[in-house]
Amino acid sequence: MSSEALTSIPLTSLPRLSQGKVRDLFSLPDNHTLLFVTSDRISAYDVILKNGVSSKGVILTLLSAEFFKVLSSRIPGLKHHFIGLGPLSASNIVTAEEQQMLRGRSMTVRRLKIFPIEAIVRGYVTGSAWLEYQKSQTIHGIEQVPGLSQCQQLPQPIYTPSTKAELGEKDINISPAEARKIVGDKYASRIEDLAIACYKAGAAYAEERGIIIADTKFEFGLDEETDEIYLVDEVLTPDSSRFWSKADYEVGREQDSFDKQVLRNWLTSNGLKGKPDVQMPPEVVEKIKGRYLELFERLTGNTLEDALKGL
């Protein structure tokens, strides 16, 4: 695998529909499916860094694919957009060079109408939730039990949605009631129930492997023909979740994370939080990559090289 980070996706055989902070979305010929391609770009505080982290897109894609299978096996009736890794019937759709570039970092998914919210679920009080709790004993405006300490587990996981901002804009924390206004009464409760069920199932799976999932964000889409809700986007990756080592976990302090916290800490300590055109030094890039790879191996029981065999 190349040691260089792939920060742009040079795919010309398919029409590009959109480009997000990390992923590019392409239309497939059947009009019912899409190609979801994950670059090595990395963002923090809603800003994309100038340089990327090599292999990151592969780690996120293969970890998402694993968790789609895990959640389907543990949540009866769960529907998701994942169909398979890579573009199906690739020889007829993309060139050999493009196929090699897409290896391990692309998946074919169902084309759905995406609900415009981030379905965040928190199992522990940390990050922005901890800052709010210290001021008001609330999280996203939801009253919490008194006396919680930093990074303490909540009595029950809570649903704390946010807006889904356009590229270049910032997500805004909202209450479940505000999310209900956005997605409508017909779907709001189902999205909340599915998000919490997915968190609980994913957290149980991770805990069996010595990992705590402190919080995560899911996205959901609608099949307008069947009126069914699907789990979409990435699932339980270090870009979308906070992961801690169960063995090292200690209430009352910030935890050492297997996720983007390494980058957030570096940006904050250097006065670069939220600033554009920031380039990470090599040591920060390598530390992030090392954390992502270790998490992948602990959650899947596989090295990235072995996971790529046969793709």
pLDDT of residue 165: 72
- 172 pLDDT tier (thresholds 50, 70, 90): confident
d(CA 259, CA 244): 9
- 170 pLDDT tier (thresholds 50, 70, 90): confident
Distances (CA, A) of 305 to 157, 297, 302: 35, 10, 8
d(CA 139, CA 127): 11
Contact between residue 302 and residue 58 where contact means Cβ atoms under 8 Å apart = no
- 164 pLDDT tier (thresholds 50, 70, 90): confident
* CB-side neighbour CA atoms (13 Å) of 44: 24
pLDDT of residue 167: 62
Q: Report the predicted TM-score, pTM, of the whole model to 2 decimal places.
A: 0.94
Mean pLDDT of the chain: 94
Distances (CA, A) of 43 to 58, 277, 281: 16, 11, 15
d(CA 44, CA 56): 14
pLDDT of residue 168: 58
Q: Which domains does the chain have, with CATH numbers?
A: 1-111 (3.30.200.20), 114-268 (3.30.470.20)
Which residue(s) pair with 29 in the sheet? Answer: none
Q: What is the mean pLDDT of residues 229-241?
A: 97
Nearest alpha carbon to residue 60 among 27, 23, 25:
23
Contact between residue 139 and residue 131 where contact means Cβ atoms under 8 Å apart = no
- 271 pLDDT tier (thresholds 50, 70, 90): very high
Q: At residue 89, does pLDDT exceed 70?
A: no
